[in-house]
Amino acid sequence: MATPADPPLIELADVSRVYGSGETEVRALDHVNLTIRQGEFVAIMGPSGSGKSTAMNTIGLLDRPSSGRFLFNGLEVQELDRDQRALLRRHYLGFVFQGFNLLPRTSALENVELPLIYKGMPRAQRIGRARAALHKVGLDGREDHDASQLSGGQQQRVAIARALVGNPMVILADEPTGNLDSHRSHEIMRLLRSLNREDGITIVMVTHEDDIAAYADRLIVFTDGKVASDGPVPERASA
């Protein structure tokens, strides 16, 4: 866990993101300032069009600010070219999406291997890493099942294993329980909270559900492209 003396892992300094111009201009982010330290579990909320998804895409290096500064672990991200940004994303970030984004007719093991194939890791090594990641998320014995043969909760566990397999500093989770029932949703959130607390992985999560946000330690609320509030989560979910 980072200390207050350590530099932020993620820093947005006076960041704006503008689409269009003139009468069609949309200011998705409007002079946003925020910092996230290593080891934090942050939930981001806000109504549709509030800027929360743009903020997540910016942090995930999937979108670029129109102005302001974005620093990742002290590195000025806006000075990087496309290939450098892709390398940073590949080596330091893991992504979990609402729709799982798995290859349905591909085994759980092969789905988890994919990021390591992109890294050029030898087959034997990546299989070992993929099996360890699936074990970490409680899917021993499901390695050879195609994604389409797994329940929604199991598919999201595969997606989390895929995010973990590259040993990321940060997991970005975009509505990770949006396609799950209440029981499976809380299973997934307990898993994410365990990864944060036991392994020290920084987690940044977008959600629209208060009971899901309650698993985080900190809640950032966006409104009209601005940070409307930023502080401790009012209530914690029970384990």
Average pLDDT over every residue of 95-107: 94
Report the CATH number at residue 195. Answer: 3.40.50.300
Residue at 183 is within a domain: yes
Which pLDDT score is estimated for 5? 62
Span 213-228, pLDDT tens digits: 999 999 999 999 999 9
Q: pLDDT class for 2, splitting at 50, 70, 90?
A: low
Which pLDDT score is estimated for 4? 57
Q: By residue range, what is the domain housing residue 227?
A: 10-232
Residue at 213 is within a domain: yes
Which pLDDT score is estimated for 237? 45
Average pLDDT over every residue of 172-188: 95
Which pLDDT score is estimated for 78? 87
Three-class SS string for the chain?
CCCCCCCCCEEEEEEEEEECCHHHCEEEEEEEEEEECCCCEEEEECCCCCCHHHHHHHHCCCCCCCEEEEEECCEEHHHCCHHHHHHHHHHHEEEEECCCCCCCCCEHHHHHHHHHHHCCCCHHHHHHHHHHHHHHCCCCCCCCCEHHHCCHHHHHHHHHHHHHCCCCCEEEEECCCCCCCHHHHHHHHHHHHHHHHHHCCEEEEECCCHHHHCCCCEEEEEECCEEEEEEECCCCCCC
Has residue 141 got a pLDDT over 50?
yes
Average pLDDT over every residue of 173-190: 95
Span 23-70, pLDDT tens digits: 889 999 999 999 999 999 999 999 999 999 999 999 999 999 999 999
Residue at 195 is within a domain: yes
Contact 68, 12 (CB under 8 A): yes
Residue at 2 is within a domain: no
Residue at 4 is within a domain: no
Which pLDDT score is estimated for 7? 81
Has residue 183 got a pLDDT over 90?
yes
Residue at 146 is within a domain: yes
Residue at 151 is within a domain: yes
Average pLDDT over every residue of 124-149: 96
Residues 6+ apart with CB under 8 A from 185: 177, 209, 212
Number of domains observed in the structure of the chain: 1
Has residue 239 got a pLDDT over 50?
no
Residue at 161 is within a domain: yes
Q: Buried b / exposed e across 27-56, counting CB within 10 Å, b at 16+?
A: bbbbebebebbbbbbbbbbbeeebbbbbbb
Has residue 238 got a pLDDT over 50?
no
Share of the chain above pLDDT 90, in %: 90
Q: What is the CA radius of gyration of the chain?
A: 18
Span 59-89, pLDDT tens digits: 999 999 999 999 999 999 988 999 999 999 9
Which pLDDT score is estimated for 128? 96
0.85 cut: is pTM over it?
Answer: yes
